Amino acid sequence: MLDDCNLITACVGRWDSFLRVLPTWQRSFLPERMFVAVAPWDHMPKEAQGLNLVEVQHGQFSLGLWLNKAYEASLEAQSGFTWKIDVDMVLEDPGALEFHTHSAESDEFVLACEVPGIGNDKPWDQRVMGMTGTVGFPTEVLGMVGGYEARLHNWGLDDVVLYREWIELGMTPRVVDAFLHVQHDDRTRTQNYEVKDLRMSIGHNRKEMARLDPTGREEFWRPIGFNVIGRAPE
């Protein structure tokens, strides 16, 4: 068990997928260290009530914003290492996850797959789609770059931006082969966004990122409030 490690995730309208993968996460993570960002308008199933449910007080979904609020809430449970896992990722090999987590150096982050263009010069590979966002990291390094880019409201690029910024800080990625991506269609992937087509969404975000100043990132998301509406028993 990773009893001293936090887990953050976001679940808005995808509870069927979340409840399918949750039992596999529970092989390595304690419920009191799982922080799930949720939307005020969403209906949480009773199976999720034993976790830390972080209700984000904002009217428009942005994955980066929801993840930042889950991270902010998780800081109450002090931990040297945090995993961000997407709600469509099955934990298949807890032993591998725990080994790479415990052995990671302070200047390393751990990816669920070898992300093309991150720490290598490989071109984009369609087969890794859906796996690139799951990552483990020394807890403080997310705050060091101002969190996830929360001003994007469409799917894509927020994870790649984060990894590139960590590399600029001198960090290096390692890969743990411990997860399986639950396949789903693009409609599921983009259901919370204005742009519903995957390729159009990524193209939109490339344009957005070109005009966004990273120094204004935290100013955007930090004032937005959250409530922990469900809390795991200690």
The answer to the question of residue 163 being in a domain is yes
Paired tokens of 184: 């789903």
Q: Could you tell me the CA-to-CA distances from 75 to 27, 33, 53, 233 in Å, in that order?
A: 22, 10, 14, 17
Beta bridge partners of 121: none
Higher pLDDT, 25 or 199: 25
CATH number of the domain that 48 lies in?
Answer: 3.90.550.10
The answer to the question of residue 234 being in a domain is no
Beta bridge partners of 52: 35
Domain that holds residue 119: 5-226
The answer to the question of residue 232 being in a domain is no
pLDDT in tens, 102-132: 999 999 999 999 998 887 777 666 666 678 9
| pLDDT value for 205 | 85
The answer to the question of residue 58 being in a domain is yes
The answer to the question of residue 233 being in a domain is no
Gap between the Cα atoms of 203 and 183, Å rounded: 22
Q: Please, is 111 exposed, middle or buried when counting C-beta atoms within 10 Å of its C-beta (0-12, 13-18, 19+)?
A: buried
Higher pLDDT, 210 or 190: 210
Residue 133 backbone dihedrals phi, psi, to 5 degrees = -85, -10
The answer to the question of residue 231 being in a domain is no
145-172: average pLDDT: 91
**pTM exceeds 0.85 for this model:** yes
Gap between the Cα atoms of 162 and 170, Å rounded: 13
The answer to the question of residue 63 being in a domain is yes
Indicate the number of domains in the chain. Answer: 1
Q: Please, is 78 exposed, middle or buried when counting C-beta atoms within 10 Å of its C-beta (0-12, 13-18, 19+)?
A: exposed
